[in-house]
Amino acid sequence: MRGATGGRLAQHTFLVVICLAALYPLWFIVSTAIKSNAAYQLDPTGFPSHPTLGALRSIVTDQPLPRWMWNSFLVTVSSVAVSTLMALLAAYAVVFGRFRGHRIFLSTSVALMVVPPVTLLVPMFVFMVDSGMVNHLQSVIVFYTGLLVPFAVFFLTNFFRTVPQELVEAASVEGAGPFTVLRRVVMPLSGAATFTLVIVQSIWVWNELLIALVFLQDERSRTLMAGLAQFQGRYATNQPLVLAGALVAIAPIVLLYLAGQRFFVRGLTAGIGK
């Protein structure tokens, strides 16, 4: 379509329509969250001409939202940190240790990546009840950690394969032990890849609903998503309040995305394509 301005215009129109459709629900959340309930009832789609922080203030002071956010934060940080460490060690062993069974280990990881967590739910819940962890954050932390490991192993293995083997060999011939090589040679080269992995895993944990809903049924122990799902039913007549909660849940991810979009794209499309 060289030079055909009509074609260009059609292309831009198409993309703009798609982008508006992608952004409208976000605008709806933001604009509703800063309306008073009365203003929203009168005109749900209108521009927030009298913006108020009332709903946002109310979820922070009258509702356990800060607590839920803190829970989500703790759960995300600990499960992502532990699973990433485990995967760093395992992927390093797969690529540079070549132990017996490394192929089986790797293909098992790839297969487990797509196992739907709902199928694991019932036995895991029984286990958590038996071990007294239900309604404690540890229950979701240990489960999430295990669920995150297969993708992390797959992702880091793919990355480590691009690290020149000679570097590692040179270091070990000079007498460096495997852990030293991992820490001094491989890890410094893997900063961007590890960061990408951490981002992807973090948004998975932050966004997870089903397991949090089942394992954390106590008001104080909920994660943000499980709490929000509760909010929806409890404050059905105060939608600005509910959407203020939604805004708080979305905001950190949007900010991260704006800061480092390429990490999101690279991480979330890993394993599809080359």
Partner 1 sequence: MENATPGRVQELLEVGRQRLGAIAEGQTLTHEGIRRRRRRRRVLWPYLYVLPAVGAMAFAFGYPLVQVVRESFYVGSFASPIWVGLDNYRGVIDDPQFRTSLQNNVKLLLAVPVMIGLGLAIALVLNDRIRGARQYQAIVFLPYVLPATAIGIAFSFLLQQNGVLNTALREAHLDFFAHDWLGSSHLAIVSVGGLVVWQQLGLGVVVFTAALLALPPDTAEAARIDGAGWWSLQLRVLVPQIRPIIGLLAVIQVITVFSWVFTYVYVLTSGGPGYASSVMELYIWRSFSTGANGTAAAVAVMLLGMASVLIGVSLWARRRAVSA
CB atoms under 10 Å from CB of 85, counted, come to 12
Q: How far is the CB of 273 from partner 1 (least distance, A)?
A: 5
Measured between alpha carbons, how far is 28 from 92 in angstroms, rounded to an integer? 46
Report whether 252 contacts 76 (CB < 8 A): no
Which of 81, 86, 163, 189 touches partner 1 by CB under 8 A?
86
Site for partner 1 in 113-142 (CB under 8 A): 114-116, 118-127, 129-130, 142
CA distances from 74 to 21, 124, 197, 210, 225 (A): 34, 21, 18, 18, 14
Site for partner 1 in 153-182 (CB under 8 A): 153, 172-173, 175, 177-179
Among candidate residues 241, 260, 194, 257, the one with its CA nearest the CA of residue 41: 241
Taking CB under 8 A as the rule, does residue 38 contact partner 1? no
State whether residue 242 is helix, strand or coil: helix
Which of 76, 78, 145, 221 touches partner 1 by CB under 8 A?
145
CA distances from 162 to 107, 189, 271 (A): 19, 10, 15
Q: Which stretch binds partner 1 (CB under 8 A): 50-58, 131-139, 159-167, 231-239?
A: 231-239
Taking CB under 8 A as the rule, does residue 111 contact partner 1? yes
Q: Which stretch binds partner 1 (CB under 8 A): 5-13, 47-55, 59-67, 160-168?
A: 5-13
Taking CB under 8 A as the rule, does residue 209 contact partner 1? yes
Q: Which stretch binds partner 1 (CB under 8 A): 52-60, 95-103, 131-139, 184-192?
A: 95-103
